[in-house]
Chain A
Amino acid sequence: MSSITPEEFVHTAKKFIELSDKFFDSWSFHQNDNDILKTYVKKEEFVNHRDEGEKVFLYRAEYIIFYNLSYGVPSFSFNIWNSSGTLLTLEEVRQMSLMKISKEDFYSVITQQEHPVMHRPYFIIHPCNTEKILLYFKHTTKNLIVTFLGLITPLIQLNLPLEYGL
């Protein structure tokens, strides 16, 4: 079994928030007592992006990690918007990416869809590969969400404090 149960996810999420608080990272825990599948962790931060012309743009990024029932793994979703509240397109997000990744590869991993918890359009990293990779780490990692975030970080600018002990 490589997947985790919703209960395991909630437990891992709580532990993750303890770590986040300890390192003054700003992840917050959003528990839904009526529907365990609607429990998630979230972080919002400002992101400075310098374009090729060295012009600096300010964006707000929102990251949400929720439980994906079909795959039994944590799922990562995000939205990035500018100062007027307009969401960036996937192509704009791709161009901000730290890692130079081909268009096809990027698009095959990230798609925009209606968020199963937030019910608005979000970019969601497709969970099909998550299961395989997490299986590899499941018994060795201190916190599955930390490991999971470490895998995603190269795709989008996500400042993960080193203290998490990756």
Chain B
Amino acid sequence: MLKSEEKKDIIQYVPFMSFVHPSFWHSLTEMKLNVDKLNESTKQVFGRYSYRDDTVSVFEVDGTSFNTNPEIELHYINVTGTLMNKNTIEDFKNIDKASLINSVGEIMRANIQTKSWIDNPNNLLNFFILSFADLKKFHYYYWFAFPAPSQPIVCLKEKCQNISTYFNEKQIKDISKSFQVLETTQKCFFAIIKNNDTAEVVKLSKILDKNSKELKINLTNTFFAFADHSNGPNPGWPLRIFLAALLDFCPNLSKTTIQIIGIRCSKNGSLTSSQIYNITVPEGVQTPENIGWVGWERNDRGNFGPKLANMSASMDPVKLADTSSDLNIKLMKWRLVPDLNVDVMKNTKCLLLGSGTLGCHVARDLLAWGFRHITFVDNGKVSYSNPTRQVLYTFQDCLNGGKRKAEAAADNIKLILPTVQSQGLNLHIPMPGHPIGESLKQETITNVKLLTEAIESHDVIFLLLDTREARWLPTLISAHYGKIVINAALGFDSYLVMRHGISSVPKETSMNSSYVSGDQLGCYFCNDVTAPGNSAKDRTLDQQCTVSRPGAAAVAAALAVELLVALLQHRLRVKAPALYNITDEDIDSELQGVLGPIPHSIRGFLHSYQTVLPTCTKFKQCIACSQVVINKYREEGIEFLMKVFNSGTYLEEITGLTELQLTAEMTEILTFSDEDQENTDDA
């Protein structure tokens, strides 16, 4: 053991702190993927440190570290090292770190013993990187080592002193000049000889004779010098290996004081902040038979252990796509709509019933607005006529009978943004007045169950189906669960986009009110006095499938998504009021959201390029969302639904519509009397 008074003086070296630039990981990744692949053999890399007095003690590696020749940078020393990149995290963890550094040390010892370092002093320094690259996550585990022998232990005779205590101004200038012209490979370790009024920098090979163990120089005016990265009172790490090499070359040095200069330069190249260390070698503390190698770097917690670089945010293309698309929404918030809630879109789950022209357009607009949960429902397959209008599909999806639409849409939207959470449900939505045969009964029950679960687990239900009656079941189930419903429907050159209210109990609205509370708004069926029957019956082929001007779907889908976003951004959400009359004039701020007032419905006509915004309240005899229908559904469940599917008139009966129609026909007859017509005109 050391005695305590000796311990005080034992030299403390300033270790290197590894500093990895992002380009190092970029180059390593490229090399691993394109060149090395599974090859684990070590490779030569370059690192560098600066002896500037105004920088910290860092040891840097970057993209150029893999070059065949290192880049020369002013006031930097290049160091040759070794990279060992393991293929698995287990190999990285389990490799014996002590024997690894010793094996590097043995090579360095051979370099010392053959004295080849005297001609190439920079080769004395060495470093080692053990790494494992998880290229799926862009996580890089790494551990630097700067190997140096644990022996000899040396002491500082006195505190370090500034170079000016030994050299005058002129001599320091001499040193600066001759140091500047010294070859780069000699700049790490060299010697300085002080004469009466001059000083000169000499290569080690000038003063150390490889064939002799004795120094033929005057030690009183010879200083050994090294490029010192430290900027405190202790010398930098390279001195450790330098002293070991010097003492191995000439053991007699241990009997004298060794004068060392730590070269430190300022940004203009002056060496005035260089330090002088006087080194002595104490007797009795050396244990030559047990020399090991030290130099593994400590991690950020101060332990000997590896570090982790998580580069996913800047290297993982999936992350980059995700953050970049979020940025567009954030920009909107930062620049134009400061009250915009960005997270609400991220967290809202959308269910798209129908994955055709409307469904595809709606999905893309949702994506653009930052929605990240989109579920598609459809029971069709992609056909050759689809891709030109249904913007999520391609020709490939039509081949071999066509992929299932809902699944193809979910797959393809992930090609646009991989982080979107999307799935497809292939199911047929049963419809009123479309009788279910015995053979399809079980399947229908399953489909109702799947649809119910899907509606329950989403926040917003989009009705984008191609028939009127297919919208009935989801309207009812959504009303039961109180979900936000956005409905879009197309005619040939017209479209309807609307939101549904959620309350099944209609309230009397005052005739003088300028708006309808959002929950009191009518649904798609509230304004109809007939129950949905088989609307495809008695139609020609072109009427059976929706034929509409291609722009109608794009416009309607865009409006549907804008309507939803305006609603979600409103303080009252689904209860956001709908004005009877939306004008450009100032609207009470209570009645609008951060994106403006929110209409109940939008009817557009491409023929005349006009849009109207009708607002209607709930109809208490509505065949889809009235109290009586919801109650029946709650009480009887699937049995009630089956009755509806099998009968075209059952709904009209239970809601009293049959009765109403009779009354209506009577009114109609009365209205057409000449007398009434005149009265109306007068009014």
Contact surface of A with B, Cβ cutoff 8 Å: 24, 46, 48, 58, 60, 79, 81, 83-87, 89, 104, 107-108, 111-114, 120-121
Contact = CB atoms under 8 A, between A and B. Distances in A.
B307 A84 contact: yes
Nearest to B331: A111
A138 to B, nearest CB: 26
A84 B308 contact: yes
A85 B313 contact: no
B22 A113 contact: no
B327 A112 contact: yes
A85 B55 contact: no
Given A46-B55, A83-B58, A120-B314, A58 B19 contact: yes
B20 interface: yes
A86 B268 CA distance: 31
The 8 A-B pairs at the shortest CB distance, nearest first, are namely: A84-B309, A85-B20, A85-B22, A107-B334, A24-B267, A87-B314, A83-B19, A108-B334
Contacts of B627: none
B647 to A, nearest CB: 59
A154 to B, nearest CB: 19
Contacts of B142: 84
Given A83-B58, A86-B309, A87-B22, A104 B17 contact: no
Most chain B beta-carbon contacts within 10 A, residue among A60, A84, A86: A84
Interface of A is mostly: strand
A58 B327 CA distance: 28
A86 B313 contact: yes
Given A24-B267, A113-B327, A121-B314, A84 B56 contact: no
Interface in B22-73: 22, 24-25, 55-56, 58
B338 interface: yes
A82 to B, nearest CB: 9
B21 interface: yes
Nearest to A106: B334
A89 B323 CA distance: 11
Contacts of B20: 83-85
Contacts of A112: 323, 327
A60 B267 contact: no
Contacts of B338: 104
Contacts of A24: 267-268
Contacts of A79: 22
B607 interface: no
A158 to B, nearest CB: 16
A58 B20 CA distance: 12
B329 interface: no
Contacts of A113: 324, 327
Contacts of B25: 85
Contact of A46 (B56, B330, B331): B56
A104 B334 contact: yes
A25 B200 CA distance: 29
B436 interface: no
B347 interface: no
Contacts of A108: 334-335
B58 A46 contact: yes
B544 interface: no
B276 to A, nearest CB: 25
Interface string B297-325: 00000000001111101100000100110
A89 B21 contact: no
16 contacts: A24-B268, A46-B58, A58-B17, A83-B17, A84-B20, A84-B308, A84-B310, A85-B20, A85-B25, A85-B311, A86-B309, A87-B313, A87-B314, A111-B327, A112-B323, A120-B314
B19 A60 contact: yes
A83 B16 CA distance: 12
B18 interface: yes
Most chain A beta-carbon contacts within 10 A, residue among B22, B55, B56, B313: B22
Given A60-B21, A89-B313, A121 B56 contact: no
A123 B48 CA distance: 27
Contacts of A89: 313
B58 A58 contact: yes
Most chain A beta-carbon contacts within 10 A, residue among B18, B20, B307: B20
Contacts of B335: 108
Contact of A81 (B21, B268, B334): B21
Nearest to A62: B21
Contacts of B140: 84-85
A86 B310 contact: yes
Given A104-B338, A107-B334, A111-B331, A85 B267 contact: no
A24 B308 CA distance: 35
A54 B591 CA distance: 49
Contacts of A107: 330, 334
Most chain B beta-carbon contacts within 10 A, residue among A48, A108, A114: A108
A117 to B, nearest CB: 15
Most chain B beta-carbon contacts within 10 A, residue among A83, A85, A114, A121: A85
A85 B330 CA distance: 26
